Structure formats: structure tokens, C-alpha cells
């Protein structure tokens, strides 16, 4: 059993037009390949919600802000195709760079607000590259549903924003982060870690979970973040690019966990940049305050 591979937008459109004629719903799962269980969980979720699933494989040069990172990015199309067939994905759309960005290509989709700060501050141009390619994939596939991982939490917000702002009729579905048994968030870049770095890497997730629990238990956010920063350095990270508490629904910076939040990190382990994030439940008191606000909101709405 082999998954059909499509290389051109024309052929992709011919296929989706047939599906549409039959009234079938379509999901897209955008990836850069080197598929692991994180990606496969998105494909399974897509299969549950849609009649037809398109997985895309495109190592998008526009979203890399380092040529070394782009050159070192793993390329494993045959293995990827073999992993997708048994899951029942219907098509692998794997265009080359000329198909995506033909001679004269001059358009950039740039999302403000949610793309600023966090990874946006350290990877100039990255989210423009992501937004541009994702917009193209939405328009090329005409998908009703698109599946993204919470692992790339800021990216998820950027994609939601662009779909809303550009009136693209696609439902963005968020899927939880899949982790190795020791807690390390799965990533195509984990393969670059040396044995010693790989051993240290799960500490990043452990520190995030411990810090999230402390914040929910009422610790000062400032102190919890400072302690976590030190713990990351002690665990072997050379640099912590950011470690921040942000609101879950709009990524607003939070000094206190007064509403559902995320703790997000980017840190370097040797020559590899790793990102991760975990949910932070509001502190008990804050949850009470939130309930109060919601109650008065409901009363206002009723009045």
C-alpha cells in the first residue's frame, strides 16, 4: 500500500475537485517531513474528522532564518510516505521550491500581534515565512479543516489569526504535544542532539511542568521564572532565549496566572534550539476572581 505523491498545484486541484464533486470534506496536515509520532497524531486526528486527508511535505526555505539550519534539516520523503500509508492519509503533497515560489514570486503574508515576541523576537522573518506558506497551502488545498500541533504554540496562534483575518474558510484544529517517554517533546530536530545532550533534554519539559505547578499553587511568577531559568542553565542549556508566561487564548504577557495560561520556552542545548510549552492552570484565587468576572459578564449579557 503506497500513498500517492502529488508534486504540482494543478494536479492537487484536479484531485480535490473530484472529492468536492462527491461532497467529501478535506483536511490538511502541513509538515516539513521527517515524520514522528507528533506528526502522525495530527494525521490520525484529521482522519477522524474529515473524509479525505492531505499531508503536505515542504521544507519551506522562507521560514528558516539560518542557512545552516535549513541545510541540516532532515529529508526523509520515502520513509515519511511509508509511515503515512498505513494511517489512511489519502495524498502526500510534496511540491518542490519552484512550484511553491516560482520565478517572480513577490508576496509575503505578515501577521502582526501574536507573531511578535517569543520566537518572533529571535527568528526574524520566521513567522512571515510560516504565514506565507500556510496561506498558500490553505488556498491550494481548499481544506475545510487544518491540523496543527500545540508544540509550536505561537505558530498555532499565527495560523489562527491569518485564517480569521483573511476570511479563509478553514477550521484550525489544535492537537496536544506528543512527548517521548522521558517527557522530551518530539521534534524533527531532536535527532541532532548528541548522546549527552539527549540525556539532558528531558529536563526542559520537567522544569516547565514543575514551574507550572508552582505558579498554579500560588508562587510568585517572577520568582518561579527566575528559578526555572537557573534550573535550565544548570541542566546544561547554554542559553535560554525566552521563558515566559502568556495567556492561552491570545498570548498576552501575564505577570500572574489570573486566567488559563502557557509557559513557553526556547533554549539552546549544544547547537540545537529546542522549544516547548505547557499549560498553566490559573491559581485558585485568580480562578475565583475570574468566575466573578464571568458571572458579572453573564448578568450584563442577560440584562
Distances (CA, A) of 31 to 36, 48, 103: 11, 18, 24
Contacts of 299 (CB under 8 A, 6+ apart): none
Residue 38 makes contact with ligand AMP by CB under 6 A? yes
Residue 52 makes contact with ligand AMP by CB under 6 A? no
Residue 72 makes contact with ligand AMP by CB under 6 A? no
Residue 289 makes contact with ligand AMP by CB under 6 A? no
In terms of CB distance, is 64 or 148 closer to ligand AMP? Answer: 148
Kindly determine how many residues on this chain lie close enough to bind ligand AMP according to the rule CB under 6 A.
Answer: 17
Residue 151 makes contact with ligand AMP by CB under 6 A? yes
Given the residues 39, 90, 126, 157, the one annotated as active site: 39
Minimum separation from the CB atom of position 211 to ligand AMP (A): 20
Taking CB positions, which residue lies at the least distance from ligand AMP?
149
In terms of CB distance, is 19 or 148 closer to ligand AMP? Answer: 148
Alpha-carbon span 270 to 273, nearest angstrom: 8
**Nearest by Cα to 245 from 269, 220, 268, 264:** 264
Distances (CA, A) of 62 to 99, 146, 272: 14, 21, 19
Residue 31 makes contact with ligand AMP by CB under 6 A? yes
Residue 157 annotated as catalytic = no
Please report, as residue ranges, which positions from 170 to 189 form the binding site for ligand AMP (by CB under 6 A): 175, 177-178, 185-188
**Nearest by Cα to 21 from 48, 52, 47:** 52
Residue 39 makes contact with ligand AMP by CB under 6 A? yes
Minimum separation from the CB atom of position 148 to ligand AMP (A): 4
Residue 152 makes contact with ligand AMP by CB under 6 A? yes
Minimum separation from the CB atom of position 168 to ligand AMP (A): 16
Among the residue ranges 33-41, 65-73, 76-84, 231-239, the one whose residues contact ligand AMP (CB under 6 A): 33-41
Among the residue ranges 11-19, 70-78, 109-117, 145-153, the one whose residues contact ligand AMP (CB under 6 A): 145-153
Q: Which residues bind ligand AMP (CB under 6 A)?
A: 31-32, 38-39, 41-42, 148-149, 151-152, 175, 177-178, 185-188
Known catalytic residues? 39
Amino acid at each position: 500500500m503506497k500513498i500517492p505523491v502529488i508534486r504540482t498545484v494543478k494536479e492537487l486541484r484536479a484531485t480535490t475537485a473530484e472529492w468536492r464533486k462527491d461532497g467529501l470534506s478535506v483536511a490538511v496536515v502541513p509538515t516539513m517531513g521527517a515524520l514522528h509520532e507528533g506528526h502522525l497524531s495530527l494525521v490520525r486526528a484529521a482522519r477522524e474528522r474529515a473524509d479525505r486527508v492531505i499531508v503536505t511535505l515542504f521544507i519551506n526555505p522562507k521560514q528558516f532564518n539560518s542557512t545552516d539550519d535549513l541545510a541540516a534539516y532532515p529529508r526523509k520523503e520515502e520513509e515519511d510516505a511509508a509511515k503515512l500509508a498505513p494511517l489512511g492519509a489519502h495524498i502526500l503533497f510534496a511540491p518542490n521550491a519552484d512550484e511553491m515560489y516560482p520565478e517572480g514570486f513577490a508576496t509575503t503574508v505578515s501577521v502582526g500581534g501574536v507573531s511578535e515576541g517569543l520566537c518572533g523576537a529571535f527568528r526574524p522573518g520566521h513567522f512571515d515565512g510560516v504565514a506565507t506558506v500556510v496561506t498558500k497551502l490553505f488556498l491550494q488545498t481548499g481544506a475545510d479543516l487544518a491540523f496543527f500541533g500545540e508544540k509550536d504554540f505561537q505558530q498555532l496562534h499565527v495560523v489562527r489569526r491569518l485564517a480569521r483575518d483573511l476570511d479563509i474558510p478553514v477550521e484550525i484544529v489544535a492537537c496536544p504535544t506528543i512527548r517521548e517517554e522521558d517527557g522530551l517533546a518530539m521534534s524533527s530536530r531532536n535527532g541532532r542532539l548528541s548522546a549527552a545532550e539527549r540525556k539532558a533534554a528531558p529536563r526542559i519539559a520537567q522544569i516547565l511542568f514543575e514551574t507550572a505547578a508552582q505558579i498554579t499553587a500560588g508562587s510568585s511568577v517572577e520568582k518561579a521564572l527566575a528559578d526555572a531559568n537557573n534550573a535550565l542553565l544548570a541542566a546544561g542549556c547554554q542559553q535560554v532565549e525566552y521563558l515566559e508566561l502568556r495567556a492561552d487564548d491570545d498570548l498576552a504577557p501575564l505577570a500572574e496566572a489570573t486566567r488559563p495560561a502557557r509557559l513557553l520556552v526556547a533554549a539552546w542545548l549544544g547547537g540545537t534550539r529546542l522549544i516547548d510549552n505547557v499549560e498553566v492552570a490559573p491559581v485558585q484565587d485568580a480562578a475565583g476572581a475570574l468566575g466573578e468576572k464571568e458571572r458579572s459578564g453573564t448578568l450584563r449579557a442577560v440584562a
